[in-house]
Amino acid sequence: MVTSYGSFPGVRVEVAGGGITAVSIGEEEKLVIFGEASYEDDGTVTSDGDEDGLATDLVGSLEEPTQINARREADTNFGSGSELADGMREALGNGANIDFLYGVAPRRFNVVGEVQSTQTGTLNNAPIWEEDVSDESNISALTVVDDDAPGTDLEVRYSYDDDLSAPGDAPTDDVGATETVVVNPLTGEYIADQSPVGDLQFDYKYLDWQSAFEAGPVTRVVQEDETGVYDVLSDSDLVSIDANSAAATRRGAFQLVNVLSGAEPNNNEPIEDDSGGYVRRDARFDTDAYSQGSVDSDYYFKLAPVRQENTPRTILGGVGGLFAGNPISDPIYNDPVSGYTDLEQRFTKADADNMRGENVIPVRQAGSIRVKDNLSTSTETDWERDFWRRRIADRVILIGKTIGDTIIGRINDADTRDAAERLISAEIRELVGDRLLKPNSAEETNWFVDVYESSTDADEVKIDIGFTPFGIVKRIDETVTINT
């Protein structure tokens, strides 16, 4: 039997003459990027429930995984300068294999006249679409009116604070009507500067991320016995809940998907004009106050900060290329992400340590932009659940599963079970030889394979595999002695 590594995702077993002739372990990951395309009616809210289609000059389709043959095809499918088209190019620039790269554009809908009767509350379709404006006085895709003080749209502002507060500089009028409403676009929470005279009516747009994750063609990109990465160009905790649920479903069918997205900001930096007037708030992290987000999973990886300077656009396209394109034998730690100029926020070492403590991968900028860890969002402590170990574990899972599949339909006797155990053990030894797993020694058992008949079902074979991956050098403890 031949064992080899190949340029494909997952594990493949070749069978001939009633036996396994070759096992191939794939080093690639399918990379599926989810993000905003260029839509029609980009700056205006139309009728309630209307869907914004893709811009008419584009050839792509919504909720349809689309591959490209060249970088420029990302533009023709999803729009030049769109988040998704740029993300696909940035992924390629950071190591993604174009043969395994897919783009998916979520559908976008309009909400008109959503009624909220209280000073504070939460919109019905969060996260809302966040318009990319340098001055929030130019926001056109989020409008609010007080229906008992008609005729004027209220001033709207974005905020990313965990605890929204009404603006202290909001203008007032003679009748005491609401003048300013602050909205967190990631959570949908809002607060008005005072109680409305009547009802607040909100017009806005939102992306249907959940539908994109669960669309039939999307669920079939990473197939059974394959591995892949869902790269979600969002830093909303609500979106990550949906992405995590979709990944759990895929993984239950041995479509071994891991997920990347941004951690949700919890603070702001107010930006003012030369005269001290309000312009906008930029998303920030208060790392001392940040707490674990909405997902606790060893196949979900959140990073922060991911926003580029002065825009809601993120670096997640490039990060996806790095994670999916890196060789399985090369851990991701302190790796650069290229194609970006500046992050919205620059973490100190203390900031990075704080975020690691909350299971978020810190991104730091000191000249280049670097991913400073690869830990998952899991809070389990029995073994370190990082991307390096997750990729190895996924391949071990598929080795056991695919070899196990080959004995289905055979006689459940010792010869069949022993043959499967020998084949799986041979593959584990290959991973040991490649320094991915620790070897066994006289003092320590670092891996084992047991294939045996179920004690409750004579037609069932059980496979137990245990293994210990090598760790990654993350810190150097150095002592320097002078003049000894």
What is the separation of C-alpha 461 from the centre of its chain, rounded to a whole number of angstroms? 36
Residues 320, 428: one domain?
no
Sequence-distant (6+) residues with CB within 8 A of 364 are 346, 347, 352, 370, 372
Residues 133 and 92 both lie in one domain:
no
Calpha distance 373→363 (Å, rounded): 8
**Pair 235, 114 in one domain:** no
Question: What would you measure as the largest C-alpha separation in the chain, in angstroms?
Answer: 90
Query: How much is the pLDDT for 91?
Result: 98
Taking alpha carbons only, the member of 252, 381, 244, 216 closest to residue 302 is 244
Q: Is residue 166 part of a domain?
A: yes
Closest CA to 361 of 346, 349, 376: 376
Residues 354 and 440 in one domain: no
Q: Domain range holding 87?
A: 28-45+52-107+214-371
CA 466 from centre of chain: 28
Q: Is residue 38 included in any domain, yes or no?
A: yes
Whether 382 is covered by a domain: the verdict is no
**Tokens describing residue 335:** 């790796």
CA atoms within 13 Å, Cβ hemisphere of 83: 25
pLDDT of residue 376: 97
Within-domain flag for 474: no
The pTM assigned to this predicted structure is 0.91
Token pair, residue 222, equals 């990473």
The residue type found at 351 is D
| Residue owning tokens 């602050």 | 182
Of 341, 371, 401, which closes a domain?
371
Q: Is residue 231 part of a domain?
A: yes
> Within this chain, do residues 230 and 357 fall inside the same structural domain, yes or no?
yes
Question: In b/e form, how buried is each residue of 452-464, taking b as 16+ CB within 10 angstroms?
Answer: ebeeeeeeebebe
Q: What is the pLDDT of residue 438?
A: 93
Please, is 347 exposed, middle or buried when counting C-beta atoms within 10 Å of its C-beta (0-12, 13-18, 19+)?
buried
Based on the fold, state whether residues 245 and 354 are members of the same structural domain: yes
Residues 115 and 93 in one domain: no
* Burial class of residue 138, CB neighbours in 10 A (0-12, 13-18, 19+): exposed
Q: In terms of domains, do 265 and 367 share one?
A: yes
**Contacting residues for 483 by C-beta, under 8 A, at least 6 apart:** none
Residues 243 and 339 in one domain: yes
Q: Give the model's pLDDT for residue 149.
A: 64
Q: How far apart are CA 420 and CA 407, in angstroms?
A: 7
Alpha-helical segments (H) within 229-329: 237-252, 316-325
- Residue 283 corresponds to which amino acid? A
Distance CA 180, CA 171 (A): 8
Spans of the chain below 70 pLDDT: 1-8, 10-24, 26, 148-152, 168-178, 472-484
Shared domain check, 126 and 114: yes
Rounded CA-CA distance 128/345 in Å is 23
pLDDT for the residue 483: 53
Residue closest to 300 by CA, chosen among 361, 376, 356, 229: 376
Last residue of a domain, one of 183, 207, 231: 207
**Position 378 in a domain:** no
Model pLDDT, residue 478: 45
Asked if the structure places residue 379 within a domain, the reply is no
Give the residue from 207, 232, 256 where a domain finishes: 207
Same domain membership, residue 411 and residue 324: no
Is residue 313 included in any domain, yes or no?
yes
Count of domains for the chain: 3
What residues pair up with 251 in beta bridges, in sequence order? none
Do 189 and 335 have their domain in common? no
